[in-house]
Chain A
Amino acid sequence: MWALKLKGVPFEYIEEDLFTNKSELLLKSNPVYKKIPVLIHNGKPISESTVILEYIEETWPENPLLPVDPHERAIARFWIKFMEDKIPIMFAFFLSNPGEKQDKAKKDCLEVLRTIEEHGLKEDKKFFGGTNIGLTDLVFGLLAYQWELMEEIVGVKLMEVHSFPRLHTWAENFKSVSVIKENLPDRDRLFARLKGRKEVLVGSSKSH
């Protein structure tokens, strides 16, 4: 959604009810996974978030979100894949309750954050790709806003500012981009929603 807004592409947003009642349109558009997001452009569906992002980039080349240089593009795609692969680890931490599994989840998450801090972000660059926001930043967007709330729900802070200064600076830069700022969900509502999600999926720690 951020990508479409950054490019100034008008679109219709359809909220799906994933748990109880997936729409006919969703099932027809994504028969392989039956998941969101799905982008439907002139009647043709595209699924899988990173595939959709590349499609958006190619179809609406104005306000480019990928670098022009092939090597820089390869680096961008490397980090996009990295985050995609690590999302299950981040969610395993979010859904964990105190105990051995949570200790492991904490360790795994910290390693991911450290890798991003040391190898993904450069001192002199505002965003992953350089001076402008790009696809890579959008994929890491979870860490800029939602992550803090997720840590609060788990009751464990991992992304401390003194341990991850580059990540914190990047998060501030990300949230200051006007399209992002204007589209950030309300903090309290998001917190309640995330908490509710965890309860539905795992149950609160009292019942463990």
Chain B
Amino acid sequence: MADEVTLLNTWPSPFGIRVRIALAEKGIKYEHKEENLQDKSPLLLKMNPVHKKIPVLIHNGKPICESLVIVQYIDEVWKETSPLLPSDPHLRAQGRFWADFLDNKVLDCVRKILLTKDEKEAGKELIECLKLLEGELGEKPYFGGEKFGYVDLSFIPFYSLFYSFETFGNISIESECPKLIAWAKRCLQKESVSESVADPEKVYHFWEQRKKKLGLE
């Protein structure tokens, strides 16, 4: 039976990029539907009635929402290829902990930088978070160890936003967290990543426009 896989997404979303990388890692063919968030499609509203947000994965007609829930779903359904989470429960817990850190602490800073006037303050807080992540990475090539894994996949989409963070937040991630930059470049050598991430300059212009519209410039 052929699987029908559709992804409802918008190009700048780091959450959507996570799902795209996961699908690419597993070699899954899917239909990509670009949503206009100012004019959400009836399909999106039907598939995610609670949040009305992207990304949404639709697999054989059934919707799955929330990027990390989707990634874990993909890992469980297509479990024979390229596992994203390790098999040891303690290592899996560590992976989930850091992904959760990204979606709480880091995302808080990201929101402040992109959607408020407290960009410089938030920039400093972001550096603190990034330093913690750099500490967790240590000397390993990836957060997952020798192989690209769940935390790497959850974090690398934010790399497309680094240029925006640096410009709005008046910080230099390269000088404060050089190991993270090295890690990012290593991830970008993977086809599944390079083909899925958004162009940093395009992303910056997108947010620059957004900030103007919100009167934050």
Residues of A within 8 A of B (CB): 32, 41, 44, 46-48, 50-52, 54-55, 58-59, 70-71, 73-74, 77-78, 81-82, 115, 119
Contacts known (A47-B97, A82-B50); A71 close to B64, Cβ less than 8 A: yes
Q: Are A54 and B70 in contact (CB under 8 A)?
A: no
User: Measured between alpha carbons, how far is A54 from B94 in the docked complex, in Å?
Assistant: 11
Inter-subunit contact B50/A55 (CB<8 Å): no
- Complex Cα–Cα for A73 and B72 (A): 9
B69 touches A55 (CB 8 A): no
Distance (whole angstroms) from the CB of A129 to the closest CB of chain B: 15
| B70–A74 CB distance below 8 A | yes
A-facing mask of B77-100, CB < 8 A → 1, else 0? 100000000000110111011001
Contact (A81, B73) CB under 8 Å given A48-B97, A51-B97, A55-B90 = no
CB distance from A91 to the nearest CB of B (A): 15
Name the B residues within 8 Å of A58 (CB-CB). 89, 92
| A115 vs B64: C-alpha distance when bound (angstroms) | 17
Name the prevailing secondary structure of the A interface residues: helix
A-B contact count (CB 8 A): 59
Chain A residue, CB-CB nearest to B62: A71
Secondary structure type dominating chain B contacts: helix
Q: How far is the CA of A78 from the CA of B70 in the complex (A)?
A: 9
B92 surroundings in chain A (CB, below 8 A): 54-55, 58
Which one of B49, B59, B73, B93 lies within 8 Å of A51 (CB-CB)? B93
Contact present for B50 and A70 (CB under 8 Å): no
- Contact of B69 with A46 in the complex, beta carbons under 8 Å: no
Given contacts A54-B92, A74-B64, 14 further A-B contacts (CB under 8 A): A32-B132, A46-B97, A51-B96, A54-B93, A70-B73, A70-B76, A74-B72, A77-B69, A77-B72, A78-B64, A78-B66, A78-B69, A81-B69, A115-B50
